[in-house]
Amino acid sequence: MSTFPDPTRTPQGPAYEGRLLDRPEEEVVDQGAPFDIRTLMSRRMVLSLVGLSAGGAVLAACAPLASNAASTATPTATTAAPSPAATASTTPGASVPAAEIPDETAGPYPGDGSNGPDALTDSGIVRQDIRSSIGGGTTAAGVPLTFSLNVLDMANGDAPFAGVAVYAWHCNAAGGYSMYSSGIENENYLRGVQVADADGRVSFTSVFPGCYSGRWPHIHFEVYPSAADVTDSANAIATSQIALPQAACEAVYASSGYDGSTRNLSQISLTSDNVFGDDGGALQLAAVSGDVSKGYSATLTVRVDTRTAPTGGSMGPGPR
């Protein structure tokens, strides 16, 4: 749940941390995602300046501090692009995929305003932990899952795509989507936005999604060119899905709380899935580690090419 103090009264109107409220008639917590993102970016700038100052003072004595300060700096469009070979080394543990991430449907339950409900206008949607509904409500149950995306800018020599905003969402353990499915229309859990750091990385704390009939277990995401663009789904430069490995899915679905998922998984495969079937999820299959008792960690490197027109996002027939 978002927590903000009362706004400051100025001659121009109410403001928070020097920024005029987008909706002056509403409380700070009801200003929406654009205001949240500006607050996040402003705080990140302050932290980067503090970190850079401290790193400069001790650079000769402690090189790691300088490295840490650089990682918190707010990204800019004028950052020099490293070579592809150098880029691979700046994304720890991730190899460069063979091609751009495939464009996929956002499905019937995006919650981005393109098909009814819009979570991206909610204050608090910019968050790392997406297990709970914003502003209270239910916390989604399930086996813990942390998933991360390493986003690369193909038009810039596969440099880390710092500063892009990523909106991610997925179903709960029972296969239902908040904001849409029966009984959870008033929830907005398992949805959130993160802004990529200097390494092009975003990370979310969530639960392992269930497997519903007709689809391989997956996580949806949209990539936006900047934080300012995140509230209009038409601005997305990539729409795709993360596929989860079969072994991890089978282990999770054997635990309690995932009724029906084992049966649904047995009736589908990566090659028969109507989204991943084109190539068996070759560019979308996450690397996963962990176990049911401690939780799982999933990572996917995503190449985005801004020179190509995005074709994903629309809805087609069948489960998505």
pLDDT number for residue 38: 61
Q: Where are the alpha helices (DSSP H) in 176-317?
A: 246-253, 261-266
Q: Calculate the alpha carbon distances from 17 to 21, 36, 48, 282 in Å.
A: 10, 12, 17, 45
pLDDT number for residue 14: 75
Strand 218-224 to 295-304 pairing:
unpaired
DSSP symbol at 16 = E
Q: Rounded to an integer, what is the distance from CA 52 to the centroid of its chain?
A: 27
Query: Homologous superfamily of 119-304 in CATH?
Result: Aromatic compound dioxygenase (2.60.130.10)
pLDDT number for residue 231: 86
Q: Decide: 223 and 104 in contact? Cβ < 8 Å.
A: no
pLDDT number for residue 24: 72
- What span, in angstroms and rounded, lies between the C-alpha atoms of 171 and 272? 20
Task: Pick out the chain residues at pLDDT < 50.
Answer: 1-4, 45-93, 316-318
Q: Calculate the alpha carbon distances from 55 to 74, 76, 161, 198 in Å.
A: 15, 20, 24, 16
Q: Which residues pair with 160 in a beta bridge?
A: 152
Q: How is the beta sheet containing 19-20 ordered, strand by strand? A: 8-10, 13-16, 19-20
Which residue, among 7, 25, 26, 27, has the nearest Cα to 17 in the 3D structure? 7
**Each residue of 297-317: pLDDT tens digit?**
999 999 999 999 998 875 544
The residue ranges of every structural domain in the chain are 8-78, 119-304
**Each residue of 17-68: pLDDT tens digit?**
666 767 677 665 555 666 667 666 555 544 443 443 444 433 233 333 233 3
Q: What is the pTM of this model?
A: 0.75
Phi, psi of 63 (to 5 degrees): -60, -40
